[in-house]
């Protein structure tokens, strides 16, 4: 049986500023925007599917035309939608991206009443959470946790703990956005809880220094007790800690210009998880993550064209947890 991943989070309508063609009073891009869909865990789910990992996306959407388009787009990418709850009268959230000349992005969000925020408080929630134990990996990010209230997070963490008793692994990506949290003390508390139950943590200096400013790499890594840790530095380097060792993994030098850094971390996560599920050791998985991220940032938007995906690298086959029972 193919290994499987449950990705939990939110996909939103994405408005991206058009390039060039500025008009007087309209600013860069002439006030024109292109519309697509995006979200950190959804981006990871798409890249996982493209890397031949069976993945289901857990979220809530409305019963509107935009939500219909999202479902169709995910199905086209082979992302499973059987765990998507449709809520009558609700809508997906919306965000807008502006990028500067270096490809760095700025986000503006409208998501306070989005359908996804209700996922942990629905009649269907118990069934969804109980299904987590049927997956090899549960993957979510700090952005996922930020959209739920405290009881919702507790409910989710309790379900993950139950699933881990049956062999499911929990992968936590620290993708931190300050605007999503009431204050940083709450964020620090939630991060600490996630660290304590995670099997793999994917993090970065950018995320952790925002919560624990001034600490060294060693101090930040010491806060995370998980057995497997990937700590990305500002330069394209990852520090790895895993049972039996620790390594520094450097990305290959870039040969193309950086266009847009959106989804660099999301694609890294997908390639890392896919490689680990396929039997790669952590160092090899991190190299796979760097390779995909380095390619993704050479294209505009979170999801690159399918033809631009790198050739699939074959690792030692690894049976799924369910198949091994």
Give CATH for domain 4-11+38-90+118-324.
3.40.1190.20
Q: Where are the alpha helices (DSSP H) in the chain?
A: 40-50, 65-76, 125-130, 142-146, 150-165, 184-197, 205-209, 217-222, 264-277, 282-296, 321-324
Spatial separation of the C-alpha atoms in residues 139 and 268, rounded to whole Å:
13
Per-domain boundaries in the chain: 4-11+38-90+118-324
Give the chain's count of helices (H) and strands (E). Answer: 11, 13
- Residue the block writes with tokens 């799924």: 320
Tokens of 69: 């388009």
The pLDDT value given to residue 313: 65
The pLDDT value given to residue 24: 36
- Which residue in 136, 173, 207, 266 is the catalytic one? 266
3-class state of residue 142 by DSSP = helix
- The answer to whether residue 126 is catalytic is no
The pLDDT value given to residue 91: 93
Tokens of 214: 């001034």
- Residues of the chain with pLDDT below 70 are 1-2, 19-30, 99-105, 313-325
């Amino acid at each position: 049986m193919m290994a499987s991943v449950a990705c939990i989070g939110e996909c939103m309508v994405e408005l991206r500023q058009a390039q060039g063609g500025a008009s007087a009073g309209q600013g860069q891009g002439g006030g024109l925007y292109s519309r697509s869909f995006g979200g950190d865990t959804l981006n990871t789910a798409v890249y996982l599917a493209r890397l031949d990992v069976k993945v289901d996306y857990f979220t809530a959407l409305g019963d509107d035309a935009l939500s219909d388009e999202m479902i169709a787009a995910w199905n086209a990418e082979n992302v499973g939608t059987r765990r998507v709850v449709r809520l009558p009268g609700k809508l997906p959230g919306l965000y807008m991206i502006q990028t500067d000349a270096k490809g760095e992005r700025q986000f503006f969000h409208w998501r306070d009443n989005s359908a996804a925020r209700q996922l942990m408080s629905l009649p269907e929630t118990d069934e969804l959470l109980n299904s987590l134990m049927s997956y090899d990996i549960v993957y979510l990010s700090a952005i996922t946790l930020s959209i739920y209230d405290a009881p919702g997070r507790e409910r989710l963490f309790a379900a993950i703990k139950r699933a881990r008793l049956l062999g499911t692994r929990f992968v936590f990506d620290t993708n931190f956005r300050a605007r999503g949290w009431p204050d940083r003390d709450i964020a620090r508390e939630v991060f600490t809880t996630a660290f304590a139950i995670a099997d793999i943590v994917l993090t970065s200096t950018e995320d952790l220094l925002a919560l624990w400013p001034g600490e060294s790499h060693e101090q930040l890594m010491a806060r995370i007790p998980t057995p497997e840790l990937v700590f990305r530095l500002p330069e394209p380097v990852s520090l790895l800690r895993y049972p039996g060792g620790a390594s520094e993994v450097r990305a290959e030098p870039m040969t193309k210009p950086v266009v847009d850094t959106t989804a660099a971390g999301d694609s890294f996560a997908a390639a890392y998880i896919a490689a680990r599920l396929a039997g790669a050791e952590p160092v090899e998985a991190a190299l796979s993550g760097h390779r995909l991220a380095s390619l993704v940032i050479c294209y505009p938007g979170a999801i690159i064209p399918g033809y631009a995906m790198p050739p699939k690298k074959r690792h030692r086959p690894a049976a799924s947890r369910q198949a091994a029972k």
